[in-house]
Structure 1
Amino acid sequence: MLVRKDSKVIAVDGSRMAMFKNIGDAFAPVLELIEEHKNPSLRTSELGTDRPGRSFQSKSPSRGAHEQVDLQQQEEDRFVSEMAQRIEQIVSGSDAAIILVAAPRALGVIRKHLGPKTSARLLAEIPKDFGPEDTEPLAKMLAKHDA
Protein backbone atom coordinates (compact mmCIF):
# COMPACT_ATOMS: atom_id res chain seq x y z
CA MET A 1 0.00 0.00 0.00
CA LEU A 2 1.23 3.44 -0.84
CA VAL A 3 1.43 5.46 2.39
CA ARG A 4 2.33 8.99 1.42
CA LYS A 5 4.77 10.95 3.52
CA ASP A 6 3.03 12.93 6.30
CA SER A 7 -0.04 10.65 6.09
CA LYS A 8 -1.67 9.86 9.41
CA VAL A 9 -2.25 6.29 10.53
CA ILE A 10 -4.73 5.80 13.37
CA ALA A 11 -4.71 2.47 15.23
CA VAL A 12 -7.69 1.74 17.52
CA ASP A 13 -8.78 -1.15 19.71
CA GLY A 14 -11.03 -1.34 22.77
CA SER A 15 -8.41 -0.03 25.15
CA ARG A 16 -6.08 2.24 23.14
CA MET A 17 -5.92 4.71 20.30
CA ALA A 18 -2.68 5.88 18.76
CA MET A 19 -2.10 8.28 15.90
CA PHE A 20 1.09 8.01 13.89
CA LYS A 21 2.61 10.15 11.16
CA ASN A 22 4.55 8.58 8.29
CA ILE A 23 8.00 10.15 8.26
CA GLY A 24 9.42 7.55 5.86
CA ASP A 25 9.02 6.85 2.18
CA ALA A 26 5.74 5.99 0.52
CA PHE A 27 6.71 2.33 -0.02
CA ALA A 28 8.66 1.96 3.25
CA PRO A 29 6.66 3.77 5.93
CA VAL A 30 8.30 4.77 9.20
CA LEU A 31 5.69 5.66 11.80
CA GLU A 32 6.19 8.28 14.48
CA LEU A 33 3.77 8.44 17.42
CA ILE A 34 1.93 11.79 17.56
CA GLU A 35 -0.96 11.19 19.94
CA GLU A 36 -2.08 8.38 22.23
CA HIS A 37 -5.18 7.74 24.35
CA LYS A 38 -5.63 4.86 26.78
CA ASN A 39 -8.78 3.51 28.36
CA PRO A 40 -8.09 2.56 31.97
CA SER A 41 -9.05 -1.06 32.28
CA LEU A 42 -11.44 -1.54 35.15
CA ARG A 43 -12.40 -4.84 36.72
CA THR A 44 -15.92 -6.02 36.01
CA SER A 45 -16.78 -5.66 39.71
CA GLU A 46 -15.89 -1.95 39.46
CA LEU A 47 -18.15 -1.50 36.44
CA GLY A 48 -21.23 -3.06 38.02
CA THR A 49 -22.32 -5.52 40.67
CA ASP A 50 -25.87 -6.38 39.69
CA ARG A 51 -26.90 -9.99 39.25
CA PRO A 52 -28.82 -11.03 36.15
CA GLY A 53 -32.53 -10.24 36.26
CA ARG A 54 -35.26 -12.85 36.74
CA SER A 55 -38.65 -13.17 35.13
CA PHE A 56 -41.66 -15.05 36.43
CA GLN A 57 -44.55 -16.55 34.48
CA SER A 58 -47.91 -15.67 36.02
CA LYS A 59 -49.60 -18.81 34.69
CA SER A 60 -46.90 -21.34 35.53
CA PRO A 61 -44.30 -21.90 38.21
CA SER A 62 -41.41 -21.60 35.74
CA ARG A 63 -38.80 -18.92 36.11
CA GLY A 64 -36.19 -17.57 33.74
CA ALA A 65 -32.97 -15.62 34.01
CA HIS A 66 -32.05 -12.78 31.71
CA GLU A 67 -28.65 -12.83 30.11
CA GLN A 68 -26.10 -10.72 31.93
CA VAL A 69 -24.80 -7.66 30.08
CA ASP A 70 -21.11 -7.72 29.13
CA LEU A 71 -19.95 -4.64 31.03
CA GLN A 72 -16.39 -4.85 29.70
CA GLN A 73 -17.64 -4.78 26.10
CA GLN A 74 -19.92 -1.83 26.87
CA GLU A 75 -16.94 0.07 28.30
CA GLU A 76 -14.80 -0.73 25.25
CA ASP A 77 -17.60 0.39 22.90
CA ARG A 78 -17.95 3.65 24.86
CA PHE A 79 -14.21 4.31 24.56
CA VAL A 80 -14.19 3.51 20.83
CA SER A 81 -17.13 5.87 20.21
CA GLU A 82 -15.21 8.65 22.01
CA MET A 83 -12.22 7.92 19.79
CA ALA A 84 -14.49 8.15 16.73
CA GLN A 85 -15.33 11.71 17.84
CA ARG A 86 -11.61 12.41 18.16
CA ILE A 87 -11.07 11.03 14.62
CA GLU A 88 -13.78 13.44 13.41
CA GLN A 89 -11.81 16.32 14.96
CA ILE A 90 -8.52 15.12 13.45
CA VAL A 91 -9.98 14.80 9.94
CA SER A 92 -11.78 18.15 10.06
CA GLY A 93 -8.63 19.99 11.18
CA SER A 94 -6.21 18.43 8.70
CA ASP A 95 -5.83 17.82 5.00
CA ALA A 96 -3.47 14.85 5.40
CA ALA A 97 -4.47 11.40 4.17
CA ILE A 98 -5.88 9.22 6.95
CA ILE A 99 -5.52 5.43 7.24
CA LEU A 100 -7.62 3.75 9.91
CA VAL A 101 -6.46 0.42 11.37
CA ALA A 102 -8.84 -1.03 13.95
CA ALA A 103 -9.98 -4.29 15.45
CA PRO A 104 -13.01 -5.52 13.46
CA ARG A 105 -15.54 -4.87 16.25
CA ALA A 106 -14.02 -1.44 16.98
CA LEU A 107 -14.12 -0.60 13.27
CA GLY A 108 -17.85 -1.34 13.23
CA VAL A 109 -18.45 0.99 16.19
CA ILE A 110 -16.30 3.72 14.61
CA ARG A 111 -18.19 3.50 11.30
CA LYS A 112 -21.47 4.14 13.12
CA HIS A 113 -20.12 7.37 14.62
CA LEU A 114 -18.24 8.86 11.66
CA GLY A 115 -19.96 11.40 9.48
CA PRO A 116 -20.15 10.99 5.70
CA LYS A 117 -17.52 13.68 5.05
CA THR A 118 -15.05 11.99 7.38
CA SER A 119 -15.73 8.53 5.93
CA ALA A 120 -15.12 9.87 2.43
CA ARG A 121 -11.76 11.34 3.48
CA LEU A 122 -10.40 8.05 4.83
CA LEU A 123 -7.83 6.63 2.45
CA ALA A 124 -8.24 3.09 3.82
CA GLU A 125 -9.96 1.15 6.60
CA ILE A 126 -8.03 -1.95 7.64
CA PRO A 127 -9.75 -4.44 10.00
CA LYS A 128 -6.68 -5.62 11.95
CA ASP A 129 -5.96 -5.55 15.65
CA PHE A 130 -2.74 -3.59 16.24
CA GLY A 131 -1.91 -1.87 19.52
CA PRO A 132 -0.03 1.42 19.76
CA GLU A 133 3.23 -0.23 20.77
CA ASP A 134 3.19 -2.35 17.59
CA THR A 135 4.72 0.41 15.43
CA GLU A 136 7.17 -1.67 13.42
CA PRO A 137 4.78 -4.56 12.61
CA LEU A 138 2.11 -2.01 11.74
CA ALA A 139 4.46 -0.25 9.29
CA LYS A 140 5.42 -3.58 7.70
CA MET A 141 1.74 -4.57 7.37
CA LEU A 142 0.94 -1.23 5.70
CA ALA A 143 3.81 -1.67 3.23
CA LYS A 144 2.50 -5.11 2.21
CA HIS A 145 -1.24 -4.32 2.34
CA ASP A 146 -3.19 -4.15 -0.92
CA ALA A 147 -5.71 -1.35 -0.99
Structure 2
Amino acid sequence: MNRNIAYNARVLVADASKAILLRNAGTAFELALEVEQVIEAPRNAPTRGQGTDRPGRTASGSHRSSLGQTDFHQLEEDRFCSMVAEKLEAICVANDIQKLIVVAPPKALADLRRAMPDVVRKRVVAEYDKDIVHLPIDEIEKHLMS
Protein backbone atom coordinates (compact mmCIF):
# COMPACT_ATOMS: atom_id res chain seq x y z
CA MET A 1 0.00 0.00 0.00
CA ASN A 2 2.91 2.36 -0.73
CA ARG A 3 1.25 5.75 -0.68
CA ASN A 4 4.13 8.09 -1.62
CA ILE A 5 2.96 10.72 0.83
CA ALA A 6 4.99 13.81 0.00
CA TYR A 7 6.78 16.01 2.49
CA ASN A 8 4.35 18.40 4.20
CA ALA A 9 1.28 16.56 2.88
CA ARG A 10 -1.54 16.13 5.38
CA VAL A 11 -3.15 12.83 6.26
CA LEU A 12 -6.59 12.73 7.82
CA VAL A 13 -7.18 9.45 9.64
CA ALA A 14 -10.76 9.26 10.84
CA ASP A 15 -13.83 7.26 11.70
CA ALA A 16 -17.31 8.37 12.78
CA SER A 17 -16.16 9.56 16.21
CA LYS A 18 -12.48 10.55 15.98
CA ALA A 19 -10.29 12.35 13.47
CA ILE A 20 -6.55 12.94 13.54
CA LEU A 21 -4.89 15.37 11.16
CA LEU A 22 -1.25 14.43 10.59
CA ARG A 23 1.55 16.16 8.69
CA ASN A 24 4.34 14.27 7.00
CA ALA A 25 7.57 15.84 8.26
CA GLY A 26 9.55 13.07 6.55
CA THR A 27 9.91 12.02 2.94
CA ALA A 28 7.67 10.01 0.66
CA PHE A 29 9.77 6.94 1.42
CA GLU A 30 10.39 7.52 5.11
CA LEU A 31 7.23 8.84 6.77
CA ALA A 32 7.48 10.92 9.92
CA LEU A 33 3.89 11.76 10.76
CA GLU A 34 3.27 14.49 13.31
CA VAL A 35 -0.08 15.14 14.95
CA GLU A 36 -1.46 18.56 14.06
CA GLN A 37 -4.95 18.20 15.46
CA VAL A 38 -7.19 15.63 17.13
CA ILE A 39 -10.96 15.99 16.91
CA GLU A 40 -13.17 13.76 19.01
CA ALA A 41 -16.93 13.57 19.03
CA PRO A 42 -18.78 13.73 22.32
CA ARG A 43 -19.99 10.38 23.63
CA ASN A 44 -22.70 9.12 21.29
CA ALA A 45 -25.15 6.76 22.97
CA PRO A 46 -27.01 4.21 20.86
CA THR A 47 -30.33 5.33 19.41
CA ARG A 48 -32.27 3.35 22.01
CA GLY A 49 -30.62 5.50 24.69
CA GLN A 50 -31.30 8.77 22.91
CA GLY A 51 -34.91 8.47 21.78
CA THR A 52 -37.50 7.37 24.28
CA ASP A 53 -40.68 8.17 22.39
CA ARG A 54 -42.40 5.68 20.18
CA PRO A 55 -42.20 6.35 16.44
CA GLY A 56 -44.86 8.70 15.12
CA ARG A 57 -47.93 7.53 13.26
CA THR A 58 -49.65 8.84 10.19
CA ALA A 59 -53.16 8.37 8.87
CA SER A 60 -54.17 8.35 5.24
CA GLY A 61 -57.89 7.80 4.84
CA SER A 62 -58.74 4.61 6.71
CA HIS A 63 -55.11 3.42 6.79
CA ARG A 64 -52.72 4.07 9.68
CA SER A 65 -49.05 3.34 9.70
CA SER A 66 -46.09 4.09 11.88
CA LEU A 67 -43.18 6.18 10.76
CA GLY A 68 -39.65 4.86 11.03
CA GLN A 69 -37.73 5.68 14.18
CA THR A 70 -35.09 8.37 13.85
CA ASP A 71 -31.57 7.00 14.12
CA PHE A 72 -30.13 9.54 16.57
CA HIS A 73 -26.80 7.72 16.68
CA GLN A 74 -26.39 8.07 12.90
CA LEU A 75 -27.42 11.74 13.06
CA GLU A 76 -24.61 12.39 15.56
CA GLU A 77 -22.10 10.58 13.33
CA ASP A 78 -23.24 12.69 10.37
CA ARG A 79 -22.87 15.88 12.45
CA PHE A 80 -19.36 14.84 13.43
CA CYS A 81 -18.34 14.27 9.79
CA SER A 82 -19.74 17.69 8.88
CA MET A 83 -17.82 19.30 11.75
CA VAL A 84 -14.58 17.59 10.64
CA ALA A 85 -15.15 18.78 7.05
CA GLU A 86 -15.70 22.37 8.26
CA LYS A 87 -12.52 22.30 10.37
CA LEU A 88 -10.59 20.82 7.45
CA GLU A 89 -11.75 23.66 5.22
CA ALA A 90 -10.50 26.27 7.69
CA ILE A 91 -7.18 24.43 8.16
CA CYS A 92 -6.63 23.94 4.42
CA VAL A 93 -7.21 27.61 3.67
CA ALA A 94 -5.26 28.98 6.67
CA ASN A 95 -2.23 26.72 6.14
CA ASP A 96 -2.29 26.61 2.34
CA ILE A 97 -2.49 22.81 2.35
CA GLN A 98 -2.15 21.45 -1.18
CA LYS A 99 -2.20 17.67 -0.67
CA LEU A 100 -4.56 15.77 1.61
CA ILE A 101 -4.84 12.00 2.00
CA VAL A 102 -7.99 10.69 3.69
CA VAL A 103 -8.03 7.33 5.50
CA ALA A 104 -11.29 6.11 7.03
CA PRO A 105 -13.59 3.07 7.12
CA PRO A 106 -15.86 2.89 4.03
CA LYS A 107 -18.98 4.41 5.64
CA ALA A 108 -17.08 7.25 7.34
CA LEU A 109 -15.14 7.87 4.14
CA ALA A 110 -18.38 8.25 2.20
CA ASP A 111 -19.84 10.56 4.88
CA LEU A 112 -16.69 12.70 4.91
CA ARG A 113 -16.62 12.87 1.12
CA ARG A 114 -20.25 13.99 1.10
CA ALA A 115 -19.62 16.67 3.76
CA MET A 116 -16.41 18.10 2.23
CA PRO A 117 -16.69 21.46 0.52
CA ASP A 118 -15.06 21.83 -2.90
CA VAL A 119 -12.08 23.72 -1.48
CA VAL A 120 -11.13 20.59 0.52
CA ARG A 121 -12.21 18.03 -2.09
CA LYS A 122 -9.84 19.59 -4.65
CA ARG A 123 -6.90 18.99 -2.30
CA VAL A 124 -7.63 15.29 -1.76
CA VAL A 125 -5.02 13.31 -3.69
CA ALA A 126 -5.88 9.86 -2.31
CA GLU A 127 -8.51 8.07 -0.23
CA TYR A 128 -8.11 4.73 1.54
CA ASP A 129 -10.82 2.70 3.23
CA LYS A 130 -9.03 1.52 6.37
CA ASP A 131 -10.07 1.73 10.02
CA ILE A 132 -6.78 2.71 11.68
CA VAL A 133 -7.64 5.85 13.67
CA HIS A 134 -7.24 4.12 17.04
CA LEU A 135 -3.74 2.81 16.29
CA PRO A 136 -0.57 4.53 17.55
CA ILE A 137 1.12 6.87 15.06
CA ASP A 138 3.97 4.43 14.32
CA GLU A 139 1.40 1.75 13.41
CA ILE A 140 -0.46 4.21 11.17
CA GLU A 141 2.85 4.95 9.42
CA LYS A 142 3.43 1.19 8.89
CA HIS A 143 -0.06 0.78 7.38
CA LEU A 144 0.50 3.71 5.04
CA MET A 145 3.93 2.48 3.96
CA SER A 146 3.06 -1.20 3.45
TM-score, normalising length: structure 1: 0.81
Aligned equivalent of 2:95? 94
Aligned equivalent of 1:66? 67
1:93-130 superposed Cα distances (whole Å, 9 cap, x missing partner): 22342211122222222222323232121221222222
- Alignment equivalent of 2:115, drawn from 113, 116, 131: 113
Change (3 A) 1:114 1:57: closer
**Equivalent residue of 2:125, what SS?**
strand
Aligned equivalent of 1:48? 51
Aligned equivalent of 1:126? 128
Retained in 2: the 8 A contact 1:12–1:80? no
Q: Which has the higher contact order (CA 8 A, sep 6+)?
A: 1
Cα deviation, residue 71, structure 1 = 0.9
**Equivalent residue of 1:2, what SS?**
coil
For 1:57 and 1:98, the matched residues in 2 are separated by 50
Retained in 2: the 8 A contact 1:19–1:36? yes
Aligned residues: 142
TM-score, normalising length: structure 2: 0.82
Cα deviation, residue 132, structure 1 = 4.5
CA RMSD of aligned residues (A): 2.1
Q: For 1:28, give the aligned amino acid.
A: E
For 1:33 and 1:65, the matched residues in 2 are separated by 47
**Equivalent residue of 1:29, what SS?**
coil
Cα deviation, residue 10, structure 1 = 0.9
Cα deviation, residue 59, structure 1 = 2.8
Cα deviation, residue 45, structure 1 = 5.5
**Equivalent residue of 2:122, what SS?**
helix
Retained in 2: the 8 A contact 1:11–1:130? yes
